[in-house]
Amino acid sequence: MFTKQMISSEIPMLMSKACEIFIQELTFRAWMHAEKNNKSIVQPCDVAKVIMQTDTMNFLTEIIPNNLGDFSVFDAKEENIANIAEENEVSLSFTAGFMGNPMMKMDSEENAGNIVEGNQATLPYTSGFMGNPMNMMNMDNVRMK
Amino acid sequence: MMDNVGGSSSNIAENSGIIREQDRLLPIANVGKIMKQILPPNAKISKESKETMQECVSEFISFVTSEASEKCRKERRKTVNGDDICWALGSLGFDDYAEPLRRYLQRYREQELDRANNPPKRG
């Protein structure tokens, strides 16, 4: 038998404070994840990553897929980033710079040369990105589904 | 007021028995402000992240209050109180939250006691 329960008047106040702490913990961890990938905008995939990596946040795993049906896209992207990280310093800094500043491409012929000398695993991702600047917007469109 | 402050665009309930989408969640503006407080000035937060956070924090409320409610039922008490919430947080792995919230709760109760003992003077 489900019996009616009441809440003490102190609970809304207490839960408000608990929610603030929760929101800020999750946000800060998501920001650290975004920053690690050289981004200055916190995206849902950053939040999802934290939820999957943090034990106490496991209760949220069921609600994340509904918000992030395209999460696997970012998983793949991260694998590419990991590949790039295994490359030389120049490749990594070039890619990070490009993502941060689309105009950098126009004055970096030397960097482009270095990229071409990189290994096969790095090149397809980078060349695809460079070949079509609209890919970035396409990614955004995919993310918003 | 027809402003839609929730994450959902629907404001109209089909019937009074259904919880409106926006009423399921905390207001997105408030959630966004709390998120901004913890981040450096150069950080930005996408709209979708705020919506994701709205869902997460509502789930958090249900998760914690369900645990506290269950404890009360087992102990045959009718009213869930602040101590039950603190216990539930510890029980669910949020130990880091439970201790500061116990202190917060204690200060709140002291304030309530002060107010009771010193009713505001009539002007």
Q: Provide the pLDDT confidence category of residue A38 given band limits of 50, 70 and 90.
A: confident
pLDDT of residue A105: 39
pLDDT of residue B122: 66
Q: Provide the pLDDT confidence category of residue A48 given band limits of 50, 70 and 90.
A: very high
Are the beta carbons of A21 and B97 separated by less than 8 Å? yes
- H or E segment at B72? helix B47-74
Interface predicted TM-score (ipTM): 0.83
SS (H, E, C) chain A: CCCCCEECCHHHHHHHHHHHHHHHHHHHHHHHHHHHCCCCEECHHHHHHHHHHCHHHHHHCCCHHHHCCCHHHHHHHHHHHHHHHHCCHHHHHHHHHHHHCHHHHHHCHHHHHHHHCCCCCHHHHHHHHHHCCHHHHHHHHHHCC
Beta strands B44-45 and A41-42, pairing class: parallel
Q: How far is CA B102 from CA B6, B18, B58, in A?
A: 30, 35, 21
- H or E segment at B79? strand B79-80
Q: Provide the pLDDT confidence category of residue A106 given band limits of 50, 70 and 90.
A: very low
pLDDT of residue A53: 86
Q: Provide the pLDDT confidence category of residue A13 given band limits of 50, 70 and 90.
A: confident
pLDDT of residue A88: 37
> A92 versus B15: which is more confidently predicted?
B15
pLDDT of residue A58: 85
CATH of region B22-115: 1.10.20.10
List the single best residue of A27, A47, A64 to mutate versus B (max B Cβ within 10 A): A27
pLDDT of residue A79: 43
Please give the mean pLDDT across all residues of chain A: 62
For chain A, the structural domain boundaries read 38-72
What's the one-letter identity of residue A108? S
User: Which tens digit of pLDDT belongs to each residue from A70-90?
Assistant: 444 444 444 445 444 443 334
What letter would DSSP give residue B45?
A: E
3-state secondary structure of B80: strand
Are the beta carbons of A14 and B105 separated by less than 8 Å? yes
Count of CB pairs separated by less than 8 Å, A with B: 140
pLDDT of residue B15: 52
Q: Which of A4-8, A98-102, B45-49 has the lowest mean pLDDT?
A: A98-102
Residues 38-97 of B with CB under 8 A from A: 38-39, 42-46, 48-49, 51-53, 55-57, 59-61, 63-65, 69, 72-73, 78-82, 85-86, 89, 92-94, 97
Average pLDDT for A91-113 = 40
User: Which tens digit of pLDDT belongs to each residue from B15-25?
Assistant: 566 666 678 79
Q: Provide the pLDDT confidence category of residue A20 given band limits of 50, 70 and 90.
A: very high
Are the beta carbons of B78 and A46 separated by less than 8 Å? no
Could you say which residues of chain B have pLDDT below 50? 1-7, 11, 13-14
Q: How far is CA B64 from CA A8, A61, B85, B91, in A?
A: 15, 16, 7, 9
